[in-house]
Chains A and B, each alone.
Chain A
């Protein structure tokens, strides 16, 4: 603020005293100095916030009272954490006597380092501002520099999402490698027996208990087979109706409504699947003599997931059918083809690449879906083709393993990362191929 005002008035002074032509408007000089005063200081403050807890921790550990702590293990960690929490004011009472003695040094260290941080931040901000201020000249290209600064800011913003993705992949990869250090990848990918025991001793991990094939099968059966049997025909038909038959007013209302379906939280679909569809299917199946029908069935989860996916398929199919040049349709109609012949034999074949891409995106969405299968599909890892049996999916097991009782470095917990990695790779591949197809298809008609 101060820098901005000072610099702007100085720029005004240049303009009035020397009568020189300023390269940039005074405002830009102001922004330039403000940027210098603000950005480096903020960057330092962020780095300091990340570093200072470690410094505090070191200070606490060097305190004589810390020598009484157990050498390692859960007791030491909890005592330290408790001391820190009390020192920073997040917690009040101290239960652990070891922690009590550490509160005072921790509080002192925290104060010390936060004052240092504040002082250094102010100094950096001031110094950088002064540095920028001294550079101001009438012919100084402040405008170009401010624009460049704005561009850099936007670049950083756009990199956040990408860098986060890389971070996710890296952490997945790291834990996956740890998991494969304990479990043979071949057993994991092709084994048919899934019965990890989170309470078992990690030293006696049996690779054969980590056969994820039933999970992959359950995922594909529910997400890519049952759900798609529902979603592809219904989505396609609704797209055809909306683009070819519906009158414009109806289409104007119907399309957004269909797209709202895609925004319904999946938990809600999960309720519906678990409380309404699954019991209904079980009763129907029993009444026609399928005794094995369970109340948590693959078909219930798949059907509801299919309904959830309909808007994806229909909106992609809608777009690609609408993108077929109307000359195609006219050409077919002029041959004496009926409307439905035209749709079946010309429009859908011409729109097929876009439709296929939409289906692939829908599949990748369906196999990553968690809530519906958690609520409706069950936990039993069955390798079966019977849709009335309980089945489990990759996503379900990720949730189960990560929220289970196993400690963090137990192979059962780590298996969640390996499963996540497989899921990530598969959906990434599906999305990649689908987007390529869509792109090629767009080029074909432009």
Chain B
């Protein structure tokens, strides 16, 4: 299990190269309650990996362990190891600030800061000292907004408040904010659940455009969304990783009975 290539072959992704993130028997506890039970999974760059499963199955919890956002919950405890490029993110010398600069996150509800659009994007680069000069910072802001497909809509009003944008624009602003620090992995926790179908379609397009550059992990309740945007799908149920494989395989030819039941809408 410690050999990422072997693990890749087991899951049938011999084409994927070494794993960006490799989780090994990860369990998460909230106090006494076990929320995640010994999950092992490899996540690769240039792919979109979707986590699906019924509510309360632990997919969001697991996503949040990947950038240690569960640290903000005092009762949460994580066992097992999670390797980012071979380095254990919980036990190595890498601290949480460095980790989160490399593993960005987009939340369920758009949460722009109550600052200008420009300052929202510039926030990360400033705290990580990525820009030496104002013009360099301007460059990062423009590039991030362009990658998030928001530049054309906001370039004339960068000093307006980020909270004044529409819901879909706010979520793209949050994506732009996440990519402004040039992360390697982007975690998205149901990024479209608060958006209308048109804004959702726009975000899905964006995810597809971004995947060439980052490893993207998306938690979603919508199986159609998982089928549309991802190449890899992991099905979680009751804290267990039931099945993980190519999205096309999971949706057309699941190996597990529980996966099949969920995909066909038998429960969930």
Query: Which of the residues A327, A328, A336, A345 comes within 8 Å of B100, measured between beta carbons?
Result: A336
**A325 near B: Cβ within 8 Å?**
yes
Interface SS of chain A: helix
With both chains docked as a complex, state the minimum distance between the C-beta of B213 and any C-beta of chain A, in angstroms: 18
A331 to B178, CA, bound (A): 9
When each residue 55-72 of chain B gets 1 if its CB lies under 8 Å from chain A and 0 otherwise, what string results? 000000000000101001
B residues less than 8 Å from A336 (CB atoms): 96-101, 124, 127-128, 181
Residues A349 and B123 in contact, CB atoms below 8 Å apart: no
Instruction: For the complex, give the distance between the alpha carbons of A382 and B24 in Å.
Output: 75
For B69, B114, B174, the residue with the greatest tally of chain A CB atoms inside 10 Å of its CB is B114
Q: How near does chain B come to A444, taking the closest CB pair, in angstroms?
A: 8
Name the distance in Å between B217's Cβ and chain A's nearest Cβ: 13
Q: B105 interface residue, CB < 8 Å from A?
A: yes
Is B127 in contact with A331, judged by CB distance below 8 angstroms?
A: no
**Interface residue count for A (Cβ, 8 Å)?**
18
Name B123's closest neighbour in chain A (CB-CB): A335
Contact with B along A320-344 (1 / 0, CB 8 A): 0000010111111111111001000
Residues of chain B contacted by A25 (CB below 8 angstroms): none
Contact A333 B111 (CB under 8 A): no
In the bound complex, how far is the Cα of B171 from the Cα of A327, in angstroms?
A: 13
Say yes or no for A45: interface residue by CB 8 A criterion: no
Chain B residue at minimum C-beta to C-beta distance from A334 = B105
A335–B181 touching, CB < 8 Å:
yes
**Min CB–CB distance B218 → chain A (angstroms):** 15
Is B13 on the interface with A (CB-CB < 8 A)? no
- Indicate with 1 or 0, residue by residue over B177-191, a CB within 8 angstroms of chain A CB atoms: 110010000000000
Pair A335/B107 contact, Cβ less than 8 Å: no
Q: Which residue of B lies closest to A345 (CB)?
A: B123
Q: Which of A328, A333, A336 has the most CB of B within 10 A?
A: A336
Chain A residue contacts of B111, Cβ below 8 A? 325, 327-328, 330-331
Instruction: Give Cα A349 to B114, complex, Å.
Output: 8
**Bound state CA distance, A77 and B101, in angstroms?**
86
- What residue in chain B is nearest A333 (Cβ atoms)? B72
B109 at the interface (CB under 8 A from A): yes
**Chain A residues within an 8 Å CB radius of B97:** 336-338
Contact of B100 with A333 in the complex, beta carbons under 8 Å = yes
- Does A330 contact B181, Cβ atoms closer than 8 Å? no
Contact call A334/B67, Cβ cutoff below 8 A? yes
| Residues of chain A contacted by B105 (CB below 8 angstroms) | 334
Chain B residues with CB under 8 Å of A331's CB are: 107, 111-113, 174, 177
Q: Which residues of A are at the interface with B, using a C-beta cutoff of 8 A?
A: 325, 327-338, 341, 345-346, 349-350
User: Could you tell me which B residues sit within 8 Å of A by CB distance?
Assistant: 67, 69, 72, 96-101, 104-105, 107, 109, 111-115, 123-124, 127-128, 174, 177-178, 181
Can you name 22 A-B pairs with beta carbons within 8 Å?
Answer: A327-B107, A328-B113, A328-B114, A330-B69, A330-B107, A331-B113, A331-B174, A332-B113, A333-B100, A334-B67, A334-B104, A334-B107, A335-B100, A335-B101, A335-B104, A336-B96, A336-B98, A337-B124, A345-B123, A349-B113, A349-B114, A350-B113
Please list the 7 inter-chain residue pairs (A to B) with the smallest Cβ-Cβ separation, ordered nearest first: A336-B100, A327-B111, A334-B105, A336-B101, A331-B111, A335-B124, A336-B97
